[in-house]
Amino acid sequence: MHTLVRECFTGIPEIVESLARKEGGNARKLASAVARGRVVIPANPAREHRLCGIGEGCTVKVNVNIGTSGERCDESLEVAKAKTALSNGADTLMDLSTGGDLPSIRRKILEMDVPVGTVPVYEAVRRAGNAADVDSDLLFSVIREHCRDGVDFLTLHCGVNKDALAALYSDPRIMSVVSRGGAFHVAMMSGRDEENPLFSEFDYLMEILAEYEVVASLGDGMRPGCIQDADRHAKTVEYLNLGRLANRALDAGVQRMIEGPGHLPIEQIGYNVRIIKELSNDAPLYLLGPLVTDIAPGYDHVVSAIGGAVACMHGADFLCMVSPSEHLALPLTDDIAEGTRVARIAAHIGDLVRSPDGFRMPREIRMAEARKRLDWKEQFSLALFGEYAQKIHERDGELDTCSMCGDLCAVKMVREIFEKRES
């Protein structure tokens, strides 16, 4: 079947040329990275939106999850959250809705000008009534529907198989399973005493994705739900599964990335990123977290950004926004704004490591120089969130320095000494 991966083996498709221009990279190198599965370009041909490349040679991207739940189901709120995410720097959106008219909400989110992802098993469970009643026919028909609607990437928990489940039972964890999709698959497999159809019918799944040119985001259903669970076996078995499946997906001409790895102690992040990359032949890595402590609810966006920045330093490519409401409630618009900004900062720190200029990125240098000159206008124009910075600076009036040290401004004092020396 004709797919982007296969096209990239023999030439440079137009979409790759356009993305290379956007990313400021070399189109030939980018096409080679797509062919080798090191970059994905989520772009379902059924829809048009701005281009986004994820992986080697691309900037770190940020995804924002939105979506209703059974407890709070307001389509207009989700659209407002999607717009807020985009205005604060999100590169992609995922619609994780589980309440209300799911196809209608999805189609509204698909009107946004970015790649959109979904988790089809959520809708399958809603349609069946409960997870144990989801059979392979239902699951695959929902997957096909999402592809047909124009969804660009699908989270598919293919690695939650009988081996991973056996590891979960033989090496128990405090939090057992915290991934919603992971839990649904565990319930399906246990309730029906069958293998996960996304694992046992993986080749058929890849045929569907290849037909619609949809990216497989191989989900981390066994991700640890607290840092105490980080080194237990289920996650490791899932890594092995995902690595093998990633290679099979590429052989089938399907673009794919790997999701991982939940909650991790900060010192284990580098090892986890490297092992996933090694097992998957450097597939793009999409991070949920990692959250590096479990005792800061309300600030989990910060906890996740710390883990995300460290993970990017070791090679992660794509950060999923965590909002201040994580582990507490369905996020509202303000939570989305705050979480997206913090994730954007973590992504920028990742870019400082992976860009050719490194930390000598011109924008960073210009900011330091503007600070030295106490050039506030230039500082706000260079800042990631300049309007916000300006609001804080001006709350004590429009000062030459800032109100932190005021007339004892160290920068001003030393600058004047240097100026005198030079005159």
DSSP-derived letter for residue 285 is E
**Identity of the residue, 174 or 404, whose beta carbon is nearer to ligand SF4 in the bound complex:** 404
**Identity of the residue, 206 or 409, whose beta carbon is nearer to ligand SF4 in the bound complex:** 409
DSSP-derived letter for residue 122 is H
**Smallest distance from the beta carbon of 381 to ligand SF4, in angstroms?**
17
> How many CA atoms are closer than 13 Å to the CA of 19, on its beta-carbon side?
27
**Identity of the residue, 175 or 367, whose beta carbon is nearer to ligand SF4 in the bound complex:** 367
**Identity of the residue, 298 or 406, whose beta carbon is nearer to ligand SF4 in the bound complex:** 406
Q: What angle do CA 320, 326, 332 make, to 5 degrees?
A: 90
DSSP-derived letter for residue 214 is -
**Cα–Cα distance list, 326 to 171, 211, 297 (Å):** 27, 36, 7
Contacts of 225 (CB under 8 A, 6+ apart): 173, 174, 175, 176, 177, 178, 262, 263
**Smallest distance from the beta carbon of 26 to ligand SF4, in angstroms?**
41
150: tokens are 């124009």
**Smallest distance from the beta carbon of 349 to ligand SF4, in angstroms?**
22
Q: Residue 374 — left, alpha, or beta (φ > 0 → left; ψ -120 to 50 → alpha)?
A: left
145: tokens are 């529907």
Distance separating alpha carbons of residues 224 and 157, to the nearest angstrom? 15
Residue with tokens 């992976």: 354
**Identity of the residue, 296 or 411, whose beta carbon is nearer to ligand SF4 in the bound complex:** 411
**Smallest distance from the beta carbon of 414 to ligand SF4, in angstroms?**
9
**Identity of the residue, 193 or 407, whose beta carbon is nearer to ligand SF4 in the bound complex:** 407
**Identity of the residue, 368 or 404, whose beta carbon is nearer to ligand SF4 in the bound complex:** 404
**Identity of the residue, 266 or 389, whose beta carbon is nearer to ligand SF4 in the bound complex:** 389
Identify the CA nearest to 329 among candidates 77, 115, 88, 154: 77
Helix H, strand E, coil C: the string for 123-138 is HHHHHHCCHHHCCHHH
Q: Which residues bind ligand SF4 (CB under 6 A)?
A: 401-402, 404-405, 409-411
User: Within the chain, what is the greatest distance between any pair of CA atoms?
Assistant: 84
**Smallest distance from the beta carbon of 302 to ligand SF4, in angstroms?**
22
**Smallest distance from the beta carbon of 364 to ligand SF4, in angstroms?**
17
Contacts of 370 (CB under 8 A, 6+ apart): 378, 379, 382
**Smallest distance from the beta carbon of 417 to ligand SF4, in angstroms?**
14
**Identity of the residue, 174 or 417, whose beta carbon is nearer to ligand SF4 in the bound complex:** 417
**Identity of the residue, 295 or 408, whose beta carbon is nearer to ligand SF4 in the bound complex:** 408
Buried b / exposed e along 295-305 (16+ C-beta atoms within 10 A): eeeeebbbbbb
**End-to-end CA separation in angstroms for the chain:** 72
**Smallest distance from the beta carbon of 54 to ligand SF4, in angstroms?**
37
Determine contact, residues 55/284, Cβ cutoff 8 Å: yes
**Smallest distance from the beta carbon of 402 to ligand SF4, in angstroms?**
3
**Smallest distance from the beta carbon of 320 to ligand SF4, in angstroms?**
34
> How many CA atoms are closer than 13 Å to the CA of 77, on its beta-carbon side?
17
**Identity of the residue, 236 or 401, whose beta carbon is nearer to ligand SF4 in the bound complex:** 401
**Smallest distance from the beta carbon of 404 to ligand SF4, in angstroms?**
4
Question: How would DSSP label each residue in 13-65?
Answer: -HHHHHHHHHHTS-HHHHHHHHHTTSEE----TTS------EETTS--EEEEE
